[in-house]
Amino acid sequence: MILTVTLNAALDITYRVAALTPHASHRVGEVAERPGGKGINVARVLAALGHDSVVTGFAGGPTGAVLRRMLAPLAPHDALVEIAGTTRRTLAIADGTTGDTTQLNEPGPTVTPEEWTAFLSSYDALLRDADAVALCGSLPPGIHVGAYAELVRRARGAGVPVLLDTGGEPLRRGIAARPELIKPNAEELARLTGSREPLRATRDARRRGAQAVVASLGPDGLLAATPDGTWQAAPPRAVKGNPTGAGDSAVAGLLSGLVGGLPWAERLSRAVALSAATVLAPAAGEFDTAAYEELLPRVKVVEHPPAAPGR
């Protein structure tokens, strides 16, 4: 079983408009609602790949009830912890003319100390059956900034490999707890290391505690610094669509490769192909199966030479 943690789950709402114009009224052509949050998206993609996946985190209030009703018929198992606050919503506005998406994210409910304690008890129990765990996304109000570091240490204590996908101070604290893998985007990586040169920054992030670092370079694919070497993987062609959730699908690909014991080049190929196929899908947590199968054998993977001493 692969466990995904979404402490700040969301109900994702997508509006599609002909063209998004600032300061103007818009007629919405289509509205879609889906259970969301990074870890939930990851779990849905894992389930579509045939993995047994479990989602945990927090859900509460009317929005949380809708999220859980929508999650119920899907493959990931719901192990969310009920809270008194109301689950947040995220609003994506998809521009039919440009293909661009504008995202509006609510902050999320305040989690009480008692609710955090209840979550930790549930998390520890779930770890007993987990082959890997992904810690994903932002922290809701009320959760201390070192929460992911605490969850990494608990997973390591249970012998479960951890992938951490967050940013800012939670990432800085979390990497010091020595997760097996972190997956920042280029901006998160630059803020963590102070370097905007991706190869140098990725290797520097490894020295800060992570066993492996896979940095998302957007349409240019992934850059990975690992104990076995450094690779860059890129899709064979540019894809145009909605990039929301593409990074989450990359996380699912990396986790799938991890539990399957695949070599790093194959893990990265799977992650890049899934990410690109998600851009072509209607929403986060889904991917275009035909595109994935077409892209997977054509992903370009290049190994970088070892870093020079002192670099």
Active-site amino acid positions: 248
Q: How far apart are CA 94 and CA 73, in angstroms?
A: 26
How is residue 68 written in tokens? 């859980």
Neighbours of 82 (CB within 10 A): 13
Which residue, among 8, 41, 35, 240, has the nearest Cα to 107 in the 3D structure?
8
Q: How far apart are CA 196 and CA 179, in angstroms?
A: 23
What is the signed CA dihedral for 180, 185, 187, 190, rounded to 10 degrees?
Answer: 30
Which residues 6+ apart lie within 8 Å of 296 measured at CB? 269, 270, 273
Q: How far apart are CA 47 and CA 42, in angstroms?
A: 9
List the end-to-end C-alpha distance of the chain, in Å, as a whole number. Answer: 38
For residue 39, the surrounding DSSP H or E stretch is helix 38-48
Q: Which amino acid is at 72?
A: A
The answer to whether 246 and 275 are in contact (CB under 8 A) is: yes
The answer to whether 156 and 177 are in contact (CB under 8 A) is: yes
User: In angstroms, what CA-CA distances link 160 with 9, 39, 57, 193, 259?
Assistant: 23, 17, 18, 27, 11
Residue 131's DSSP bridge partners are none
